[in-house]
A and B are shown apart, each in its own frame.
Chain A
Amino acid sequence: MSQPPIIAIVEDDTDQRNNYVRALQRMPVRVLAFADRQSAFSAMQQQRPDLVILDIILGQEYDGGFNLYSQISRLYPDMPVLFLTERVDEIDQVSGLRMGAWDYQPKPISIDYFVAKIESLLRLTTGQASNEETRLVTCDKLVMDLDRRHIHWQGMALPEFTVTEFTMLEYLARRPGLVLTYEQLAQATFGGVVENNTISTHISNIKRKFRTISAEFNHIVSEYGQGYRWRN
């Protein structure tokens, strides 16, 4: 019988940390909870977790979560990390965080969406996905490798996508021709409250990356007043 995956949670707020632990304890996982960077890194040096959940602000360390991520990634380069943060507007700007199996979840968190995201990440880390066939999404000339998070357009690899962009594109590509509302896209990517223009900003970034390969790319259409649509 295989050992349950180990999930390490680093959150300085006791109530939040307990709530995460409580939610995860309903899953078949083993949970390690830490309140600060030092104790968390020390423990992780002793035992490699399968997934790390990080709060960014840890006590008096404003970038404690990022610093701990740097330490962990040097120790375990492939370690998947899920950031829990209220600093949504900053997280995509942090260099070095776009590579690898990491994700983030803005606060306040929906426990349901949080659990779903954990399950998704665990599939990547525990080898469940590798045992199955490679998961691909294809739409017209678009090919998305969901496991490796690679995207090809007209046979050429696109620049690195953020997790949000990747998820949003996948959502569009799986529903070609359908007008997807802002609410649908928000729910699919964030699971929480976002402004329409936040969705649009991500769409704009997605288009810009396609146009590095094909300047005439126009397969993501703005349906003004409603949302977006993938046009074949």
Chain B
Amino acid sequence: MAKVTAGAIKSPLGQQRLGQRLWRLRSQLLVVALVLLSLPYLGYRFIDATNGLLQQSQAMAQQQVSQSLANLFSQRPELLLQLPELSAQQPLLFVQPINQAKQIDGNSADWQTEMVQAAEFINAEAGIHFTSTLGIHAGQLYGKLQVYDQHWLNPSRQGNGWSAGDHIRLAYVDAQGLEHELALMAPSPGSMNIYATDNSGQINVSQPLTQLALQAAMQFTQDGYLVEWRMPVSLLGTELLLRVSVIDIDDTSAASRILTTQGPEQQGYTALNTLSNQAMALLAGQQESPMSVTLYDSQLNRLAHTGHIPLATQDSWHWSLPELARQVYGRLITHIMSFTNPVSGDALLQRPRLLNLALGGIVIQDRWPMQQTQGIQATAMPIFADNQQVIGVVLVEQAIDQLMQIQRQAMEQMVLISLTTALLIMLTLVLLFWRLAQRIRTLGRQTHALVDASGRLQTGKLAIKLDGQDEISDLARDISNVMQRLQQHQRFLAQIPRTLSHEIKNPLNTISTSLGNLKAELAEHPSAEYIHAAQRGLYKIESILTKLASAASLEQALDQEAKESIDLAYLLSSYCHYQAQAVDQLDYQGPTQEVFMQAVDYRLEQALDKLLDNAKDFRQPLTPIKVSLRLDGPWALVSFCNVGPTIDANQAPQLFHSMVSHRATAKEGGKGHFGLGLFVVRTICEHHGGQVSWHNQHQPDGVCFQLRLPINMA
């Protein structure tokens, strides 16, 4: 079985160039897209700068408000300076205005946002220690009691009473001057039971005081336990007399230890501090403003508070695609704004820092986050007495929601507009680049189509419009001009053999006629044989010139010849029949039926002549030349195979080019081969819509040339 080596020729150059071109265009598009990304960034920077101005304006406005209030209290120093005198003997039960109602759950978390001072009570001998914080809001008196006691003994119900245990007692005097004492009992952490006590201090178990709207709760803390309680201020009389007692029992067999706000085992009342009311009156003008104004004394006791910080309400969320898009977009904007307007920190740390710095005489502003708001903008303004001593601080806090809302709206519009603009520009650019790439590809295809597989220009004119005004059209025109010049040069090169033939034939004619005359006049001369030799040489030269001129004008001649329907099978059998008379071992195998095709018969015969000449020249002596015709669908395959040297693959690309010959005899000056044969074969074959190919054979070595010609289908 003979091996077959295909003569396929592939070049990755085109693919490589295509890849480079795509990469270059993609790179350019990427660069342009990156430049476009600067649009949102520039918008972001603009809004950031605008936001800075707004923040500055807000801060200035806030500072002016703070300054005004500080000036107001500077003129009423008694409101700030009375407190130290009253608190000289004992800790005050100082009622401080608080911003919001407290959840009575024993948890102090909601007190953390309030800047309120705690009064501390200690009985070191008895080992009882607690702090009390009192706040007032919306007519309710709130208390927070932190008891530092690691041994909490829980009281429990026993029949009609309670067993001994730790608990809290509140005593007050009502508007009628009647004294009341309440016991706050907790069998376990959570809500506490509240009972009135009788005159002897015994708990009246049968009558829980739920109707007084009292509420209390206890939770353990790291240092002991915490009790939160609430009662209407209206229960207290005008003197606001109150006593808070902590009953500590570590052992049921031992006596209880009692520490009250009056001192150990003391039963008196403490008047709640109400001086802030006057201060509150001064701050009444700020009551409706959406800002929190708090007045502190030099001990940072909270004397007055007014106004409020509006909290954002959480929108109810329902699932829908637009809502989802809105949420996603909102989160995106929030995320972007977290970069442009970072509000960080901790109010618990920053607020005291502000107040302490203000006590040092420094006007200071800061921001910190706050739940249900976008953040807080705060100004701490020191209040100076006449002697330039700082006697208090005005703390103005304001939510930056409105500012942030403006910023957010601007950011949303900026993001929307810049993204839309960027997308539109990118879309335009993509279309432009796509169109550009398409035009370049078309130009490339058209340019490629100008040249056939063997590198010859088929036409010098591009099959695209050349009347455009842009650079691509300029390039197309340049290519077209270059190609037309190349075609002219190609025509010139093609004409060279004919021109050469014409130019040589005149001197040849001189030689020919001279030899003719010599022959006529010296026919009997002994040197006449030299004249015959010269005439034979002249004939060979003439033959070469004729072949060169014929090959040079072949394509032009083919275009002028009409094809007709011929029987290829008959042509081949007849051809081989006659050639076999002169060529030994010429074997032909073909179909018995007719094989019609559209062709110029003598041109096919010319191609067969060249293939046969080629096979004869390269076959080993006494080996056959096999000619065959077989059908392959709409194709007729005509093969000429000979035994002999194979074709080097390196020679393959030029095999069918004009003036390419690998015959040794050409170098030796034998019959004079100019490599026109296979060029003529290919030209004729392609003119008939076919292809010519070759492949090597092995065992024995040889070469087959094959014409693939289209036939008439029934």
Q: Mark A190-226, 1 if CB is under 8 A from B, else 0.
A: 0011111110110110001000000000000011111
Give the nearest-CB partner of B557 in chain A: A201
CB of B150 within 8 Å of the partner chain: no
Task: Tell me the smallest distance from the CB of B604 to a CB of chain A, in Å.
Answer: 9
Q: Mark A90-122, 1 if CB is under 8 A from B, else 0.
A: 000000000000000001111110100000000
A197 to B519 alpha-carbon distance, docked (Å): 31
Count residues of B near A (Cβ-Cβ below 8 Å): 46
Chain B, 514-534, CB within 8 A of any chain A CB: 514-517, 519-520
Known pairs A15-B514, A197-B602; A86 contacts B576 (CB<8 A)? no
Task: Tell me the smallest distance from the CB of A156 to a CB of chain B, in Å.
Answer: 22
Chain B residues with CB under 8 A of A193: 539, 542-543, 546
A90 to B603 alpha-carbon distance, docked (Å): 20
CB of A230 within 8 Å of the partner chain: no
Q: Mark B535-566, 1 if CB is under 8 A from A, else 0.
A: 00011001100110110010001000110000
| Cβ 8 A contact of B516, one of A112, A194, A201, A226 | A112
B72-80, B504-512, B694-702 - the one binding chain A? B504-512
A194 to B557 alpha-carbon distance, docked (Å): 15
CB of A16 within 8 Å of the partner chain: yes
A200 to B561 alpha-carbon distance, docked (Å): 11
Give the nearest-CB partner of A192 in chain B: B542
Give the nearest-CB partner of A179 in chain B: B578
A19-27, A74-82, A141-149 - the one binding chain B? A19-27
Contact A195 B546 (CB under 8 A): yes
CB of A87 within 8 Å of the partner chain: yes
Chain B, 557-595, CB within 8 A of any chain A CB: 557, 561-562, 570-572, 574-579
Chain B residues with CB under 8 A of A198: 550
Known pairs A110-B512, A111-B512, A197-B603; A225 contacts B574 (CB<8 A)? yes
Chain A residues with CB under 8 A of B515: 111
CB of A140 within 8 Å of the partner chain: no
In this complex, which of B501, B502, B543, B553 has the most chain A Cβ atoms within 10 angstroms of its Cβ? B502
A86 to B501 alpha-carbon distance, docked (Å): 8
CB of B609 within 8 Å of the partner chain: yes
Task: Tell me the smallest distance from the CB of B96 to a CB of chain A, in Å.
Answer: 121
| Cβ 8 A contact of B578, one of A112, A194, A196, A224 | A224
Chain B residues with CB under 8 A of A197: 550, 602-603, 605-606
CB of B239 within 8 Å of the partner chain: no
Contact B605 A200 (CB under 8 A): yes
Give the nearest-CB partner of B680 in chain A: A197
Contact B516 A223 (CB under 8 A): no
Contact A225 B579 (CB under 8 A): yes
Task: Tell me the smallest distance from the CB of A39 to a CB of chain B, in Å.
Answer: 20
Chain A residues with CB under 8 A of B539: 193
A26 to B520 alpha-carbon distance, docked (Å): 9
Known pairs A107-B506, A197-B606; A23 contacts B542 (CB<8 A)? no
A157 to B577 alpha-carbon distance, docked (Å): 37
In this complex, which of A22, A23, A109, A111 has the most chain B Cβ atoms within 10 angstroms of its Cβ? A111
Task: Tell me the smallest distance from the CB of A198 to a CB of chain B, in Å.
Answer: 7
Task: Tell me the smallest distance from the CB of B710 to a CB of chain A, in Å.
Answer: 20
Known pairs A193-B542, A225-B575; A19 contacts B517 (CB<8 A)? yes
Contact B602 A225 (CB under 8 A): no
Chain A residues with CB under 8 A of B517: 19, 22-23, 111
CB of A133 within 8 Å of the partner chain: no
CB of A160 within 8 Å of the partner chain: no
Contact B543 A16 (CB under 8 A): no
Chain B, 415-468, CB within 8 A of any chain A CB: none
CB of A132 within 8 Å of the partner chain: no
A109 to B509 alpha-carbon distance, docked (Å): 6
Chain A residues with CB under 8 A of B512: 107-111
Q: Mark A35-64, 1 if CB is under 8 A from B, else 0.
A: 000000000000000000000000000000
CB of B513 within 8 Å of the partner chain: yes
Give the nearest-CB partner of B609 in chain A: A196
Q: Report the contact-size class of chain A (Cβ under 8 Å from the partner).
A: 35 or more
Contact B501 A108 (CB under 8 A): no
CB of B601 within 8 Å of the partner chain: yes
Give the nearest-CB partner of B535 in chain A: A110
Give the nearest-CB partner of B498 in chain A: A89
Chain A residues with CB under 8 A of B579: 225
Chain A residues with CB under 8 A of B577: 225
A99 to B561 alpha-carbon distance, docked (Å): 24
| Cβ 8 A contact of B502, one of A87, A110, A203 | A87
Task: Tell me the smallest distance from the CB of B513 to a CB of chain A, in Å.
Answer: 4
A87 to B339 alpha-carbon distance, docked (Å): 89
Known pairs A197-B550, A225-B579; A19 contacts B603 (CB<8 A)? no
Task: Tell me the smallest distance from the CB of B461 to a CB of chain A, in Å.
Answer: 26
A197 to B517 alpha-carbon distance, docked (Å): 31
A194 to B550 alpha-carbon distance, docked (Å): 9
A20 to B553 alpha-carbon distance, docked (Å): 30
Task: Tell me the smallest distance from the CB of A62 to a CB of chain B, in Å.
Answer: 11
Known pairs A201-B557, A223-B578; A195 contacts B501 (CB<8 A)? no
Task: Tell me the smallest distance from the CB of B594 to a CB of chain A, in Å.
Answer: 14
Contact A86 B506 (CB under 8 A): yes
Contact A225 B605 (CB under 8 A): yes
A94 to B275 alpha-carbon distance, docked (Å): 132
Chain B residues with CB under 8 A of A204: 561, 600, 602
A143 to B511 alpha-carbon distance, docked (Å): 40
Chain A, 1-25, CB within 8 A of any chain B CB: 13, 15-16, 19-20, 22-23
| Cβ 8 A contact of B575, one of A22, A203, A224 | A224
In this complex, which of B511, B513, B606 has the most chain A Cβ atoms within 10 angstroms of its Cβ? B513
Contact B561 A86 (CB under 8 A): no
A83 to B542 alpha-carbon distance, docked (Å): 19
Give the nearest-CB partner of B547 in chain A: A195
Chain B, 152-180, CB within 8 A of any chain A CB: none
Chain B, 380-414, CB within 8 A of any chain A CB: none
Chain A residues with CB under 8 A of B572: 224
Contact B574 A20 (CB under 8 A): no
Task: Tell me the smallest distance from the CB of B355 to a CB of chain A, in Å.
Answer: 114
Give the nearest-CB partner of B554 in chain A: A197
Task: Tell me the smallest distance from the CB of B72 to a CB of chain A, in Å.
Answer: 118
Chain B residues with CB under 8 A of A194: 546
Contact A111 B513 (CB under 8 A): yes
Known pairs A15-B514, A224-B575; A86 contacts B509 (CB<8 A)? yes
Chain B residues with CB under 8 A of A112: 516
A171 to B542 alpha-carbon distance, docked (Å): 24
Contact B513 A19 (CB under 8 A): yes
Task: Tell me the smallest distance from the CB of A35 to a CB of chain B, in Å.
Answer: 14
Chain A residues with CB under 8 A of B605: 196-197, 200, 222, 224-225
Contact A108 B542 (CB under 8 A): yes
Task: Tell me the smallest distance from the CB of A203 to a CB of chain B, in Å.
Answer: 8
In this complex, which of A89, A192, A208 has the most chain B Cβ atoms within 10 angstroms of its Cβ? A89
Contact A196 B505 (CB under 8 A): no
In this complex, which of B516, B557, B578 has the most chain A Cβ atoms within 10 angstroms of its Cβ? B516
Contact B550 A195 (CB under 8 A): yes
A20 to B509 alpha-carbon distance, docked (Å): 11
Chain A residues with CB under 8 A of B508: 107-108
Chain A residues with CB under 8 A of B570: 224
Chain B residues with CB under 8 A of A22: 517
Known pairs A26-B520, A112-B516, A201-B557; A15 contacts B510 (CB<8 A)? yes
Give the nearest-CB partner of A203 in chain B: B602
Chain A residues with CB under 8 A of B510: 13, 15-16, 19
A-B contact pairs, 6 of them (CB 8 A): A19-B516, A108-B542, A110-B516, A196-B602, A222-B602, A224-B608
- In the A-B complex, list the 10 residue pairs whose CB atoms are closest, starting with the nearest: A111-B516, A200-B602, A19-B513, A225-B578, A108-B512, A86-B505, A225-B575, A226-B578, A224-B575, A224-B574
Other A-B pairs, 4, CB within 8 Å; known A108-B508, A108-B509, A192-B542: A108-B542, A114-B513, A195-B550, A196-B606
